[in-house]
Structure 1
Amino acid sequence: MALAVMLLNGASFHGGCCKPKALLSSLGPLLNNSKLYSSYRRPGAEPEKKLSWQNADFSFKKAFDHLKTQLSLLKKETQDYLKGPGGHPLSQHLLEQTRVLWQFRSQEDLNKWVISSDVEIGGKSKVYIKLGRNNQAALLYGTLNTEVPRDGETQYSGYCSMRSRPAVGSFNRKKYYDWSNFNSLYLRVRGDGRPWMVNIYTDPYFSHQKDDLYTYFMFTRGGPYWEEIQIPFSKFFLSSRGRVQDNQHPVWLDKIRTLGFTIGDKVDGPFQLEIDFIGLLNDRAHKEKFAYEAYDKNTPV
């Protein structure tokens, strides 16, 4: 029934020859018996004048504009694919040494990120994001509070995070970042001396891997000066739900979904982090493939 309402919302009635009311009246009994409509009414509440299916918004123009937008995105993706990796010529792709992924110069740049805190589990930490001075950086700030919610279940609390929105292709398809041509993450930040965790989320191969994260630490020195931080991808270790995994393997650089920053150093009080830009670097001097040993847990005798 939900699909029926979606189709009704995007349907068109050309020239008025077919009226919406006629179609709705014919589908009314079907929708009345569905879960979209309930006859229950709270005491004291006014009766609904219209049923939920009667509030369907018929707009052929909106549906056509949406289709036009998605087709233009598909056209651009096809052109970029034919041009070369990442929409760049092959010669440029092979010689590329740096790339800026995110920079913060407008509210539109901030809208590409999502902030969250332990408020989701009943905590009291607060986090905000806004443009910095002269609109030249993103300012992530707030207050960390490690007070555990009194729900009888939660044992730890006190974290705030900032995470990029997943990339989406035409027609809402999943889209991945391909960083396989680089070996380091490069950032220009200004912190307050508190440590942060940098989290990389890749597309899971199996459904039970949906909580897997690749994590490494970023230590800010504080003070009035900016610092440039380089973190090799070989240093990121695999964790799941906050626990470091025994079985470690390198980051899948061609299946990157999101990048995030988390603070949870168990120190109550205010924090702030300014981010000028986030980019990639291909450091030719860095030869390390993976920093952690892989071993057989059940070695045959």
Structure 2
Amino acid sequence: MKANIPVLTIAAAACTLLSLPSAASQTSVVEFDREEARKLGWRIVDDGVMGGLSKGKMEISESGILRFSGNLSLENNGGFSSLRTDDLELDLSGAEGLIARVKGDGRNYQLRLSTDERYRGMQISFKKDFSTKKGKWTEVKVPFEQFEGSFRGMSLKDRKFDPAKIERLGLLLGDKKAGPFQLEVDWIVAYGNSDSAKSVVDLALADERFKTLTAALTEAKLVETLNGSGPFTVFAPTDEAFSKLPKGTVEELLKPENRAKLQSILKYHVIPGSVDLAAGLKAGEASSVQGEALSIEFAEGRVRVNEATLLDANITASNGVIHVIDSVLLPPAPKNDLASVAERAGSFGTLLAGVEAAGLSDVLTEEGPLTILAPTDEAFAKLPKGTLKTLLKKENRDQLVAILSMHAIKGTVTGGDALNAKRANSVSGEKLQFSIEAGSFKVNGATILKTDITCDNGVIHVIDEVLLPGSTSKEKQKPATAKTIAPDRRIEGAIEKGVPVFNQGDHEKCADIYRDCLTSLASDRSLDDSVRQSLSDLIKRADHAKPTERAWLFRAGLDRVLASLTQ
């Protein structure tokens, strides 16, 4: 099946069919995804088989579009290029014909089908010409009764086409006009067969009121959603509903670069489950597939879905129900808090997972303001193997909180503010130093990749490394002053020495560095007896832990002593 597009256009219309004729059913025949194309064995057959010089080629795009192109030559009595499948078995009995979504070059092409009919023992083709509009997508509808038999250019009008015994599909250009050609095909479906007109996907395409919705669902690649088992409830805007949007809006939404926005709007019209009008009014609201809620109420003599008026209701399908509305539903603007912006960016999954594990999720959604130095997923991947896994354990929550808090500054600090101030205190109390080094904007040695991503409750700056407590830019390290007592200097020195060792993956050596410092502090009589005793207890307890955990435990002990000394 075409990725996310199975019978999309059909689905689109299906979405909106209220009093749809029963003959509106469609069945997907070809959708041109690459795996399907491989199985069907599509191949080029040019007039070279008869001495001609025409050359055709075919391509299947990643989005599932067939491109049949080349050059038609009339030399050597040539003049055709074709594309056909291998032999197959296709039963379209009960269907009335085919619909193909095509974009051509203004030339006339042929749809060609072969059945078990033979002429002198050889397979014949049933053909039907169709025209294209240059550079425009159109839907070509061809009833089976219009297919005419032929064999090597000879008309066989007396032969009867049997849709139950189709053995080959094909396309052909033979308009006797030399020159380049190009035809694109999105899909081919069979229409009719009223007995199977049941799903929401099968209900729409034949209704003239829903051409815009059909086009939108097609471009958004959302048919798969509506063609599934469901059930789904679809609020289907009419063409008139789309025409109410500001001029140019629909055209902009249909552009490939705006697909995500179009998908969001269309998903806002779909509710999981089969919700009839009575159930919808009783509930008063429902959550859409897009995620935001829809209100459903009776007001001023009309049923309203948000601000839209319900025109028709309870169109039952095998996988849901359809309600018709007179306006397009527009989802509310997305949340713009720090957490939502980071989530939408898609490159901060590890950071957000850490925030959740540390129990800090509410911090990113509260009023703030807060400045976040946000390491990317690649930044977290630079940490020594196993570090992240260890940090996410419940018993290491304090260490995780300390690290994450170092990436936050109270207030809104723009990139310019940070560079002018050159330093700031993080929420954890760690010092942050900002500078320009070799042309790069740095914070504690990490490169700031992007600044000033504005949020409602703060600002985000993107960095390429995870900041660890005790790490600062070497150029900005300050020597100890006369006012700094010896325990402070020892702790800061141990941290400065241990952090790079830990980051290089030697957790045991780092733990030894911290342990030596703690041992000296435990025997330093300038410290309170209770502090020295707690450090001795920590050393005994942590000595039985694994190197990584031991390093973190010792580091936490150093941080506590340093905090008490600087209060």
The bucket for the TM-score relative to the shorter chain is 0.5 to 0.7
Match of 1:163 in 2: 84
Higher RCO (CA-CA < 8 Å; seq separation 6+) = 1
Counterpart AA for 2:130: M
SS for the counterpart of 2:120 is: helix
SS for the counterpart of 1:189 is: strand
Are 2:46 and 1:126 aligned? no
- Please list the CA deviations of residues 192-242 of structure 1 after superposition, one character each: whole Å capped at 9, or x if unmatched: 0110111110013x662524221110111112x211111000111122221
1:107–1:131 CA contact under 8 A, matched in 2? no
Per the TM alignment, residue 105 of structure 1 is displaced from its structure 2 partner at its CA by: 2.6
Per the TM alignment, residue 115 of structure 1 is displaced from its structure 2 partner at its CA by: 1.0
Counterpart AA for 1:97: S
Match of 2:120 in 1: 208
Per the TM alignment, residue 131 of structure 1 is displaced from its structure 2 partner at its CA by: 2.2
Are 2:127 and 1:186 aligned? no
Match of 2:172 in 1: 262
Structure 1 residues 266, 95: closer, same or farther in 2, change over 3 A?
closer
Are 2:33 and 1:105 aligned? yes
Structure of greater Rg = 2
SS for the counterpart of 2:48 is: helix
Match of 1:171 in 2: none
Alpha-carbon separation, structure 1, partners of 2:52 and 2:153: 17
Match of 1:146 in 2: 74
- How do 1:1-301 and structure 2 match up within 5 A? 97-106=25-34, 108-109=36-37, 112=40, 113-132=42-61, 134-148=62-76, 156-167=77-88, 176-204=89-117, 208-223=120-135, 225-245=136-156, 247-282=157-192
| Displaced runs of 4 or more, over 6 A | none
- Please list the CA deviations of residues 92-142 of structure 1 after superposition, one character each: whole Å capped at 9, or x if unmatched: xx999211111123265256211110122222111111124x533011100
2:108–2:173 CA contact under 8 A, matched in 1? yes
2:44–2:56 CA contact under 8 A, matched in 1? yes
Alpha-carbon separation, structure 2, partners of 1:106 and 1:279: 17
Paired residues in the alignment total 173
Cα RMSD (Å): 2.4
1:197–1:263 CA contact under 8 A, matched in 2? yes
Alpha-carbon separation, structure 2, partners of 1:106 and 1:253: 25
SS for the counterpart of 1:265 is: coil
Gaps of 5+ in 2: 1-21, 195-205, 207-567
1:110–1:138 CA contact under 8 A, matched in 2? no
Alpha-carbon separation, structure 2, partners of 1:222 and 1:283: 32
Q: Name the one with the larger helix percent.
A: 2
- Please list the CA deviations of residues 235-292 of structure 1 after superposition, one character each: whole Å capped at 9, or x if unmatched: 11122221113x524311111101111101111110000010111000779xxxxxxx
1:211–1:241 CA contact under 8 A, matched in 2? no
Match of 1:291 in 2: none
Gaps of 5+ in 1: 1-93, 149-155, 168-175, 286-301
> If the length of structure 2 is used for normalisation, what is the TM-score?
0.29
Counterpart AA for 2:115: T
2:106–2:134 CA contact under 8 A, matched in 1? yes
Match of 2:461 in 1: none
Counterpart AA for 1:99: T
- Please list the CA deviations of residues 19-75 of structure 1 after superposition, one character each: whole Å capped at 9, or x if unmatched: xxxxxxxxxxxxxxxxxxxxxxxxxxxxxxxxxxxxxxxxxxxxxxxxxxxxxxxxx
SS for the counterpart of 1:183 is: strand
SS for the counterpart of 1:254 is: helix
